[in-house]
Structure 1
């Protein structure tokens, strides 16, 4: 199983358009990008390919990395930076199954699958498939499980992908307060991709600070929606991950911290 990180940034990406902060300047100088989130998973023997989340940078990511178009897709939640790239399916696919959660979100009155169907009803080649969180289903030959995480106010899901004894886990956009059943499903991955939007010390600047502190008081949640880098790495330890990469990284990381080894950048690949 070959995993390619197509997009490792948050909703504005790094470099951020119109931004001249030290981190964005350093990213330009290094030739490093963190575009909006998406992960490509391919079985190298069969060529089967699965896309997790549809980044608005879809076209650019696929051209840049040269990976195959997916045979199926998974959508974790309905935020712009994870869903709106699905419009790129126009003329690219004859038939694209897209799997998303079936449970109704009290905030929107519809499930993620229903939102996908409503927003992209003009795409005859996109076929949403509602799936039950916590139940494993097959997509493009992979065994996939959506697991609830914590990203208020919307329902959001992490993803577990397995094939031939290899296991990938994604935390999704989430705080550190992931339900126990989801943690159990995610446990022992070969690779964990974990949301870590900023370093913990920046929680001091959030109106709601940080939450879910470690024993030394370092917050593992930034505000109300995302983990800190420290939270992402702590999740990897808790899950006994073979390797943890911090994704959904923002340009708010100070420049001298933004390119640390733990923080993923676009184009990284892993063979599981």
Structure 2
């Protein structure tokens, strides 16, 4: 059975276009062009476990409407930053009206931070603290902490179907990974990696996400079968040809990958 991964959003924390910005990328995005990017999340569809999202950001309602979906069963949450959790109150309201309970899986510290901000969510969403490997259908899911630079840390997810010999990882918010942080990224069929800029010009200590040049060096080291780059700022212009290596490309809104 195939797992289908669809990119509902590929933008960074502010999305594209930036409200304040008149750069060529933002102006192209305002016309509905290829650079229009909602905040990053992916939709997973598998016959064995239903519909799942990784993250639930502030564009969730528009993303659901675009996809034509009325219900989501499960959400995995990478970390408690606004661009990854701001859609949770709307999801909770959906669950209230449909008289169902959503299931959200996150590390205990992430759940704590979410419920400090939105304490009422637990009335309609079951929050499951991750305490070890998860299992969804035939997929084992590993969760681990990754360096998020000046923003502290986030978590990433690796999905492995050992019976069918396939795997992918979602690592949207990370930088300068090393040692044990890299181990779950080995031997992947697909790596989804966050890259805000092509070559970020700001001091390293102020940064929080890989740039594309750094990501390409990491990809050369890890050698995944395919890589999709997401979490992109208005520095990335999808009308340009960046001459990325074979198997590596920028994710576009609506792009689907089947594993």
The two structures have a TM-score, normalised by structure 1, of 0.80
Q: Structure 2 unaligned segments of length 5 or more: list them.
A: none
C-alpha distance in 2 between matches for 1:67 and 1:173? 26
Shift of 1:225: 0.9
* Equivalence for 1:267: 254
How does 1:246-265 map onto structure 2 within 5 Å?
246-253=229-236, 257=240, 262-265=249-252
CA 1:257–1:100: 2 relative to 1, 3 Å: same
More helix by share: 2
SS in 2 for 1:92: helix
CA 1:232–1:264: 2 relative to 1, 3 Å: same
Shift of 1:117: 2.8
* Equivalence for 1:218: none
**In the alignment, structure 1 residue 196 sits paired with structure 2 residue 195:** yes
Given that 1:120 and 1:126 are in contact with CA atoms closer than 8 Å, whether structure 2 keeps it comes out as no
C-alpha distance in 2 between matches for 1:69 and 1:237? 39
* Equivalence for 1:148: 145
CA 1:122–1:58: 2 relative to 1, 3 Å: same
Q: Structure 1 unaligned segments of length 5 or more: list them.
A: 103-110, 212-222
**In the alignment, structure 1 residue 230 sits paired with structure 2 residue 213:** yes
Shift of 1:240: 1.9
C-alpha distance in 1 between matches for 2:89 and 2:25? 30
Shift of 1:118: 2.7
CA 1:87–1:39: 2 relative to 1, 3 Å: same
* Equivalence for 1:166: 166
CA 1:140–1:72: 2 relative to 1, 3 Å: farther
Deviations along 1:130-189, one digit per CA (max 9) or x if unpaired, are: 113xx31125764221121111343311111234543221223111x2242232112122
SS in 1 for 2:87: helix
C-alpha distance in 1 between matches for 2:192 and 2:173? 10
Q: Which runs of 4+ in 1 moved over 6 A?
A: 258-261
* Equivalence for 2:227: 244
The two structures have a TM-score, normalised by structure 2, of 0.84
C-alpha distance in 1 between matches for 2:253 and 2:241? 13
